[in-house]
Chain A
Amino acid sequence: MARLTIDGSAIEVADGTSLFDACRLARGESLPHFCYHPDLSIAGVCRLCQVEVEGMPKLTIACNTTVREGMVVHTRSERVRKASQQILEMHLINHPVDCPICDQAGECGLQNQYMAYGLYDSQVAESDKVNKAKALVIGPHVVLDKERCVLCSRCVRFCNEVTKTGELGIFNRGDRAEIGVAPGRELDNAYSVNTVDICPVGALTSRDFRFQKRVWMLKSTDSICPGCATGCNVRVDHEAGRIYRLKPRRNPAVNGSWMCDEGRLTYKDVHAEDRLLEPLWNGRVVSWADARGHLAHVVAGGFALVIGSAHQSLEEMWLLRQLAGTAALSGGLAGSDLAVGDDILRSADRTPNRRGLALAGLAEHDAAALAGLVRAARGAILVHGGDPAAAPDVAAAMAGRQDVVYVGTHRRATAAAAALALPGAMWAEKAGIFVNRQDRLQAFAQAVARPGNAREDWRVLGEMLPDQGRAPTGLKALRAGVAADLAPALAPTIDLDRLPQGGVPAGGDA
């Protein structure tokens, strides 16, 4: 441990801590910075985080300094204030100040730091600024504006260190230095939009989000990416019931600060054209009241087969098992939603909750076995989520049956095969828990309202319970039931209703 004094207050940090982190602890806020990033190497190029260390003749950058025993540091002295203001002024010399058309405005490092540390009058005439290329499409997801760049090199380091693809570099020197793509390449790695996230200014913008919304109009909800079994922690940015973008939330245990480009676009499915918005009885839109009538008729003799899916929340899976009772139970199609994974974040398993199926005690079946179960069912069949009828075998087995009930979100194969299709909620429209590939329980919250007449799945499933006295009255009650039932598999410290930010391993924290 090293004891040091920062701005007059004594602080003790572990040896090897960077002065930047120590200052953040002591001050309660970061030093001004562009190039420092907790999940990238130290570059020390922006020179904004300069602090005064007693005994050192010149100011030193905190990010590239390691704490030493007995250090006396000043971060708010007049010398430091003046230095960061002048460095900021240098960064802004050639900045076009085109905030009105810049997507970063509102969450921009230059704007925030100018308001906090700058507030000087510019001495550079607009005509003296060095002009560079604007609105350059450099990849399938990213647009580059070279004028706005402050050359912090975060994006270059990201492509070198995280994806190890090295598409980006800094070319030329002096005030003509600029970020560029290596000749003959484009920024097309599977994680390219992370460069947009870490860009502290508006030099890199996302093509998907570009000009869709000003950022100050967005509201944020913490959630989990449903794109694969990794379960990256994300923030859903939405406004007026519409999701505009997903941004990664930092969680060193799961996704660091990153997420993949594919995962970022998973929100598109929430607003898909083929959403199931109303109950359908044999393809005809009916009211919920009528749907309940049809349901009572179809399942008069109880369900003979209940099929879940790895796309649903842990609570819903557990409820499904209660609903099945003695009926045959399946976790859905084994091997569905498989794609190519990599060793950065993407899992080959493109479902968010396959481990949840195992935890809730639902076994998956391959297409032939599932079709066999469907054929063997002497009574109604309930399919919850997923799209098992996308497999031709299962679709053939379901064909002609008038007793298949589907609770799902899209008008796809299973909705078409079912006699009664009931609209459920997508992940962003409900709260729940996903269990990722590390057996980590992570909670997601409801971000947007459910469209049309879609309802929360647990309410729909709860109404089907033969014993209505056991139907959950709320999410809290439902989670209490899950916790009581899964107690042997879960660490006793886990409170399903209050999972910690960043999730918790099913076995508890080591």
Chain B
Amino acid sequence: MSFEGLPKGSTDKRRSLLESMYLLEVVRGLGVTARHLLRNIFHTGDMPTMQYPEEKRVYGDRFRGRHRLMQREDGTPRCVACQMCSTYCPADCIYITAAEHPDPAIEKYPATFDIDLLRCVYCGLCEEACPCDAIRLDTGIYEIAADHRDKFIVDKEFLLRNTTDGTR
């Protein structure tokens, strides 16, 4: 098998002498950089970079952000602790303990409803499984940061406070 390239030690014959000296090419490269620099200085609006966090990207309506628990009219959770979401959840990140509600018309409610945001994969299967439309991922919140792992496990009160306008 013969190697179609060049003999060992030779320079690339496809480059001209001028090119293989590099000096002119370095100057040409600096020219490209300078062109972009000058355009960005004088045409700031054309820059693809966003000024996050002052400026935020707009996502589509179907973007799945941090969860929220829907409320009844009296502010209590709509959730009846049927645990369909935690059963369906592929990441196993929803932890619910059910309790007896004093009102027999409601009967069952979540005493605790915790979501581990670090485990969650934001697949949205919980909202599909929910028979009461009690959990939604429509808050649009994607800035999920904290300084301790424990703070990513959010509770019922936290989830009830979440709203669609991205505030909490």
Residue A214 CB within 8 A of the other chain: yes
B105 and A134 within 8 A (CB): yes
Binding-face segment, B54-62, B64-72, B77-85, B112-120? B77-85
Q: How far is the CB of B35 from chain A (nearest CB, A)?
A: 64
A210 and B82 within 8 A (CB): no
B104 and A101 within 8 A (CB): no
Q: How large is the interface on B (under 10, 10 to 19, 20 to 34, 35 or more residues)?
A: 10 to 19
Residue A183 CB within 8 A of the other chain: no
A211 and B80 within 8 A (CB): no
* Residues in A neighbouring B83, C-beta threshold 8 A: 214, 217
A135 and B81 within 8 A (CB): no
B99 and A211 within 8 A (CB): yes
* Residues in B neighbouring A134, C-beta threshold 8 A: 104-105, 107
* Residues in A neighbouring B105, C-beta threshold 8 A: 134
Nearest opposing residue in chain B for A106, CB measure: B87
A101 and B80 within 8 A (CB): yes
A100 and B100 within 8 A (CB): no
* Residues in B neighbouring A100, C-beta threshold 8 A: 80, 82, 84, 108, 131-132
Q: Mark A89-112, 1 if CB is under 8 A from B, else 0.
A: 000000000111100010000000
Q: Mark B92-129, 1 if CB is under 8 A from A, else 0.
A: 00000011100011011000000000000000000000
Query: Whole-angstrom distance between the alpha carbons of A503 and B153 in the complex?
Result: 48
Q: Which of A105, A134, A212, A214 has the most CB of B within 10 A?
A: A214
Query: Whole-angstrom distance between the alpha carbons of A216 and B88 in the complex?
Result: 12
B131 and A210 within 8 A (CB): no
Query: Whole-angstrom distance between the alpha carbons of A276 and B131 in the complex?
Result: 44
Q: How large is the interface on A (under 10, 10 to 19, 20 to 34, 35 or more residues)?
A: 10 to 19
A135 and B132 within 8 A (CB): no
B80 and A210 within 8 A (CB): no
Given A100-B80, A134-B105, A211-B108, verify A216-B87 contact (CB < 8 Å): yes
Given A100-B131, A101-B80, A101-B82, verify A214-B87 contact (CB < 8 Å): yes
Query: Whole-angstrom distance between the alpha carbons of A217 and B96 in the complex?
Result: 13
Query: Whole-angstrom distance between the alpha carbons of A217 and B83 in the complex?
Result: 10
Nearest opposing residue in chain A for B131, CB measure: A100
B100 and A211 within 8 A (CB): yes
Q: How far is the CB of A104 from chain B (nearest CB, A)?
A: 12
Q: Which of A122-168 contact B (CB under 8 A)?
A: 133-136
Query: Whole-angstrom distance between the alpha carbons of A145 and B83 in the complex?
Result: 21
Q: Which of A205-235 contact B (CB under 8 A)?
A: 210-212, 214, 216-217
Given A100-B80, A101-B80, A210-B100, verify A135-B87 contact (CB < 8 Å): no
B99 and A135 within 8 A (CB): no
Query: Whole-angstrom distance between the alpha carbons of A53 and B98 in the complex?
Result: 48
Nearest opposing residue in chain B for A98, CB measure: B107
* Residues in A neighbouring B81, C-beta threshold 8 A: 101, 211
Query: Whole-angstrom distance between the alpha carbons of A267 and B142 in the complex?
Result: 45
Query: Whole-angstrom distance between the alpha carbons of A211 and B99 in the complex?
Result: 6
B84 and A135 within 8 A (CB): no
Query: Whole-angstrom distance between the alpha carbons of A100 and B107 in the complex?
Result: 11
Q: How far is the CB of A434 from chain B (nearest CB, A)?
A: 34
Checking A135, A210, A212, A217 against B104 with a beta-carbon cut-off of 8 angstroms, the contacting residue is: A135
Q: Which of B131-157 contact A (CB under 8 A)?
A: 131-132
Query: Whole-angstrom distance between the alpha carbons of A134 and B80 in the complex?
Result: 15
Query: Whole-angstrom distance between the alpha carbons of A100 and B98 in the complex?
Result: 11
* Residues in A neighbouring B82, C-beta threshold 8 A: 99-101, 105, 214
* Residues in A neighbouring B98, C-beta threshold 8 A: 211-212
* Residues in A neighbouring B104, C-beta threshold 8 A: 133-136
* Residues in A neighbouring B84, C-beta threshold 8 A: 100
A217 and B87 within 8 A (CB): yes
Query: Whole-angstrom distance between the alpha carbons of A224 and B122 in the complex?
Result: 44
Q: How far is the CB of B118 from chain A (nearest CB, A)?
A: 20
Q: How far is the CB of B66 from chain A (nearest CB, A)?
A: 24
Q: How far is the CB of B107 from chain A (nearest CB, A)?
A: 5
* Residues in B neighbouring A211, C-beta threshold 8 A: 81, 98-100, 108
Q: How far is the CB of A146 from chain B (nearest CB, A)?
A: 11
Nearest opposing residue in chain B for A143, CB measure: B100
Query: Whole-angstrom distance between the alpha carbons of A474 and B101 in the complex?
Result: 49
* Residues in A neighbouring B87, C-beta threshold 8 A: 214, 216-217
* Residues in A neighbouring B132, C-beta threshold 8 A: 100
Q: Mark A174-197, 1 if CB is under 8 A from B, else 0.
A: 000000000000000000000000
* Residues in A neighbouring B99, C-beta threshold 8 A: 211
* Residues in B neighbouring A214, C-beta threshold 8 A: 82-83, 87
Nearest opposing residue in chain B for A216, CB measure: B87
Q: Which of A99, A211, A212 has the most CB of B within 10 A?
A: A211
Nearest opposing residue in chain B for A135, CB measure: B104
* Residues in A neighbouring B107, C-beta threshold 8 A: 98, 101, 134-135
Q: Mark A432-467, 1 if CB is under 8 A from B, else 0.
A: 000000000000000000000000000000000000
Nearest opposing residue in chain A for B84, CB measure: A100
* Residues in B neighbouring A135, C-beta threshold 8 A: 100, 104, 107
Q: Which of A241-300 contact B (CB under 8 A)?
A: none
Q: Which of A135, A136, A216 has the most CB of B within 10 A?
A: A135
Q: How far is the CB of B89 from chain A (nearest CB, A)?
A: 12
Query: Whole-angstrom distance between the alpha carbons of A509 and B98 in the complex?
Result: 47
Q: How far is the CB of B109 from chain A (nearest CB, A)?
A: 9
Query: Whole-angstrom distance between the alpha carbons of A100 and B87 in the complex?
Result: 12
Nearest opposing residue in chain A for B130, CB measure: A100
Query: Whole-angstrom distance between the alpha carbons of A136 and B104 in the complex?
Result: 8
Instruction: For the complex of A and B, list the 8 residue pairs with the smallest distance between their C-beta atoms, beginning with the closest.
Output: A100-B82, A135-B104, A211-B98, A101-B108, A134-B104, A101-B80, A100-B131, A214-B83
* 4 further interface pairs, Cβ-Cβ under 8 Å (given A100-B84, A101-B107, A212-B98): A135-B107, A210-B100, A214-B83, A216-B87
- Using a CB–CB cutoff of 8 Å, the interface residues on chain A facing chain B are 98-101, 105, 133-136, 210-212, 214, 216-217
21 A-B pairs (CB sep. < 8 Å): A98-B107, A99-B82, A100-B80, A100-B82, A100-B131, A100-B132, A101-B81, A101-B82, A101-B107, A133-B104, A134-B107, A135-B104, A135-B107, A211-B98, A211-B99, A211-B100, A211-B108, A214-B87, A216-B87, A217-B83, A217-B87
